[in-house]
Amino acid sequence: MLNETPTKNKNLEAWVREAAELCQPDRVVWCDGTERERDELTRQAIGLGEVELLDPVKWPGCLYARSTENDVARVEQSTFICTRSKKAAGNTNNWMDPQEAYRKLSEIFKNSMKGRTLYVVPYIMGIPGSRFNKIGVEITDSIYVVLNMRIMTRMGTIALQELGAEGKFTKGLHGKADLDDHHRFICHFPEDNTIWSVGSNYGGNVLLGKKCLALRIASWLGNQEGWLAEHMMIAGIQDPSGKIEYVAAAFPSQCGKTNLAMLVPPASMKGYRVWTVGDDIAWMRIGEDGRLWAVNPEAGFFGVAPGTNSKTNPNALAAVRKNTIFTNVLKTEDGGVWWEGMDGEPPTKGVNWRGQPWTPSSTEKGAHSNSRFTAPAGQCPSISLEWENPKGVPISAIIFGGRRARVTPLVYQSRNWQHGVYVGATVASETTSAATGEVGVVRRDPMAMLPFCGYDMGDYFSHWLEMGRRLKNPPKIFCVNWFRKDDKGNILWPGFGENLRVLQWILSRAEGNVGAIDSVIGFLPKAEDLNLKGIDLSPEKIASLLSISKEDWIDEIKDEATFFEKIGATLPPEIQSEREALIQRLSMEMV
């Protein structure tokens, strides 16, 4: 922790001075990222009541935090893309004029750090030493944010060294202000490479390297520089011969990306392993070999706690046993943590996420449904040897998915890249508690990027199409749905480790080793080509999982039209013609 300026970068110095003038903190502290600094900040945060220490024997190095009750999820209605022209932000983003946004937020930031410390957090998104890195600097008055950023990014002196005297960086200004949701704004200024976030202390709104830089700003930069910043997990699938193939998969929040990235193969699939490269974000570039190469720009996992147990995700459980920050879970009497869906019996007593006494007979949940763990990725037993390879890993298959009780089958393959972009563009999912708002409503979430694309969605689809034209050896594109239900509302597919069976089919298809049924929506597996050994699923269930209902798809296409109309004139004609081709196939064939 340094009190004097440790950088020769004049732009950085000037910007920190400017922010301090606006926010008027008592002190300015530059973070160096050392363990000594972490210990000192932890001590201070405990003193301020921002975090509590968990039992040091059972949960070594772990901290417990609660956010205010009205500040537990991303706030999409208060998230803005502030480009000079509204058109650049597109119709699916909230837009604010940059002058107005700076003025409005300045009023909230003004003097808001009086009596507080302003921390300067330099960080790297990407692998240190890689030419594809982006450097960010977050200014914040929250020690909780600093402690989380040091897990989620490569932070401190290492980032200042990489930045050097002349380097460019994303300016991120964060302040808690009064944590009043009327004063909560998450504003992105892609033309200024700047983010201003105020009035929140919840991860997705305030860990500015993650959704704000690595997705919203990075997707804008990717469009200009010719690469993709995506809301995707990345994993390597090792087969019994030892060969590893990599997949990247996009799912909306809370649809199991982290579980898929850390999947443990079922006992009946001997010789298979899944290696985690990343669980949330993929930066993908075209390699010299004409393939798509993906890097996880983050250094940690900011995962959803409820439902994580030794069956659903033993690797995540192992990863969070030390040096982890738990937010909005239940704190047990013996200094441990608990959440709904954890192994074993619930504790007899505890303090819930609101800070109130809790017992199993309480009507309220112990942990908030969007409660989180922040854990260093390197602690995950399934972490890939390649996860810090600056080149990234070559992607054989891209997978899109959503949470759909009906309509979408367990898995299908698109016909080609253009059709795959259409499939990604039409992904829909039932909403979850990762964002404020109604839960369980079907909404279009193209490429799982609706809340994260930093520019016009139609232009984003065009960028995907352009990437496909440049790829000599593109990954094959698939769509999956682990959440299909029968008429009685029961989920049909067991999910979790068994999802590897679907990945196995996907990779066989990507390699051209297996046939498929050429259906109206794309290539469907023949039931006999799915590896179902050791799994108890009736042929009727398999048939339901792979079935497509003409009526459902006609409704689906109508709903797509409404969404495409919203995107407006920038919707690429290729997407329109894919849709028309599907309409034609549906009207010609009985499915």
Told to check if 445 binds Mn ion by CB under 5 A, we report no
Among 302, 412, 422, 563, binds ligand OXD (CB under 6 A): 302
Handedness of CA 267, 273, 279, 282 (dihedral sign): negative
How many CB atoms neighbour CB 550 within 10 A? Answer: 13
Residue among 352 and 429 whose Cβ is closer to Mn ion: 429
Q: What's the closest the beta carbon of residue 271 comes to ligand OXD, in angstroms? A: 32
Active site residue 255: yes
* Three-class DSSP category at 564: helix
Told to check if 280 binds ligand OXD by CB under 6 A, we report yes
- Letters for 201-230 (x = contact with ligand OXD by CB under 6 A, - = none) are ---x--------------------------
Residue among 78 and 253 whose Cβ is closer to ligand OXD: 253
Query: Of residues 529-588, which lie at the interface with ligand OXD (CB under 6 A)?
Result: none
State how far Cα 290 lies from the chain centre. Answer: 26
Among 294, 428, 434, 524, binds ligand OXD (CB under 6 A): 434
Q: What's the closest the beta carbon of residue 231 comes to Mn ion, in angstroms? A: 6
Residue 188, strand partner residues: 81, 195
CB 199 within 8 A of CB 187: no
Distance CA 471, CA 417 (A): 10
CB 311 within 8 A of CB 496: yes
Distance CA 102, CA 124 (A): 25
Residue among 204 and 401 whose Cβ is closer to ligand OXD: 204
Q: How many residues bind Mn ion (CB under 5 A)?
A: 2
Would strands 185-189 and 194-198 be described as parallel, antiparallel, or unpaired? antiparallel
141 binds, among Mn ion, ligand OXD, none (CB under 5 to 8 A by kind): none
Q: What's the closest the beta carbon of residue 55 comes to Mn ion, in angstroms? A: 30
CB 110 within 8 A of CB 23: yes
Query: Of residues 204-263, which lie at the interface with Mn ion (CB under 5 A)?
Result: 253
For residue 138, give Cα distances in angstroms to 57, 142, 154, 461.
33, 11, 13, 30
Q: Which amino acid is at 580?
A: E
Told to check if 298 binds Mn ion by CB under 5 A, we report no
Extract long-range pairs of 500-503: CB within 8 Å, 24+ residues apart: 500/237, 500/263, 500/265, 500/266, 500/269, 500/272, 500/274, 501/266, 501/269, 501/530, 501/531, 501/532, 501/535, 502/410, 502/411, 502/530, 503/237, 503/247, 503/263, 503/274
Told to check if 280 binds Mn ion by CB under 5 A, we report yes
The catalytically annotated residue of 255, 380, 453, 479 is 255
Q: How many residues bind ligand OXD (CB under 6 A)?
A: 6
Told to check if 276 binds ligand OXD by CB under 6 A, we report no
37 binds, among Mn ion, ligand OXD, none (CB under 5 to 8 A by kind): none
Query: Of residues 72-131, which lie at the interface with ligand OXD (CB under 6 A)?
Result: 74
- Letters for 235-274 (x = contact with ligand OXD by CB under 6 A, - = none) are ------------------x---------------------
Q: What is the distance in angstroms between the CA of the first residue and the CA of the last residue of the chain?
A: 64
Residue among 189 and 302 whose Cβ is closer to ligand OXD: 302
Q: Helices marked H in 300-399 — which ranges?
A: 314-319
Residue among 126 and 203 whose Cβ is closer to ligand OXD: 203
> Contact residues for ligand OXD (CB under 6 A)?
74, 204, 253, 280, 302, 434
Name the residues annotated as catalytic: 255
